[in-house]
Amino acid sequence: MRNDGPRNILRRSLQVRHVDAGSCNGCESELAAITGPVYDAQRYGLDIVASPRHADVLTVSGPVTRQMAEALGRTHAAVGQPRLVVSVGDCAAGRCPFRGSYAAGEGVAAVLPVDAHIPGCPPAPAEIVQHLRALMRGPGPGQTAGQRG
Ligand code: SF4
C-alpha cells in the first residue's frame, strides 16, 4: 500500500485553525476574507475551524509574543497527526518591527516546526489561498516541504 503521508491524506480537504500570536490583526483580516464570497476557499476544500482538534493545519501570525508562546504550543499539541504548521505574514517569519523588544519573539520557527511560510505584510487573501492549496498538493519531485507549490 502506498504511503506518502500528509500529501495524500490532505489533498482533498484542509481544515485550518488559526492562532494570532501577537499580530497587528492585519494578517487576520486577510485570512478571514478567504472564506468570504469573493475568494470562497471552501470550494477548494479549505475551511477555517474553531477547534484545533478539528484541524489539519495550524496557521500562525505575529512574532509569537511571550504571552502567546505557551498557548501556541498547547494549541499545536491539540492538533491531531498528521499536522502541518504554516506561518502567515512577515512578523511570523521573524521580521516583526518590534523584534528584540521585551515582548516580541523571533517568529514561529523559533518555537514550532514550520512546514510552509506565506510572505507579505499582510499577504493578500488570494496569496493565502494559493499557498494553502499548494500545501494540499504537497512538495513536488525534488522539493522540500518548504518549497511546496
Ligand atoms: S506581517 Fe504585517 S499585517 Fe501581519 S501582523 Fe505583521 S505587521 Fe501586521
**Tens-digit pLDDT profile for residues 79-99:** 999 999 999 999 999 999 888
For residue 7, pLDDT over 80 is answered with: no
- Give tens-digit pLDDT for 100-114: 899 999 999 999 999
Lining ligand 1 with CB less than 6 A are 23-24, 26-27, 61-62, 89-91, 121-122
CA-closest residue to ligand 1 atom 6 = 91
| Ligand 1 centroid to residue 43 C-alpha, Å | 27
Q: CB under 8 Å to 141, separation ≥6 — which residues?
A: none
CATH of 15-138, one of 3.40.50.12280, 2.10.70.10, 3.50.50.60, 3.90.740.10: 3.40.50.12280
Q: What are the helix (H) ranges across 1-149?
A: 6-9, 26-32, 66-78, 125-137
- 87 grid coordinates: 506561518
CA of residue 121 to ligand 1 center, whole Å? 5
